[in-house]
Amino acid sequence: MTTNIYVKILNEDIPVWRPVKAVCLKENIFKIVDKTDFEKLDEILEFGFDDIVVCKNSNGNFYAVKLYS
């Protein structure tokens, strides 16, 4: 089942987060499955398709903070 997590957009002057589709692998660990080409939307995301990321839960929303290793 997919859910939305939020990934930081790097080419913005202020902090902006883009919702992307991801699958929860275990608590706070998600694999990004969204194949959208965000560069066509002029957005460079910190993490992209197929990355496995650690997320921080803030008010029920998950924000990608680093790659999972």
Greatest Cα pair distance, the chain, in angstroms, is 33
Q: What is the DSSP letter of 28?
A: T
Tell me the chain's radius of gyration from C-alpha atoms: 11
Q: What is the pLDDT of residues 15-47, one digit of tens each?
A: 999 999 999 999 999 999 999 999 999 999 999
Q: What is the spatial distance between Cα 13 and Cα 36, in angstroms, rounded to a whole number?
A: 22
Taking residues 46-67, report their average pLDDT. 98
| Residue 50 contacts residue 37 (beta carbons within 8 Å) | no
Domain positions in the chain are 2-67
| Predicted structure pTM score | 0.94
Taking residues 39-63, report their average pLDDT. 97
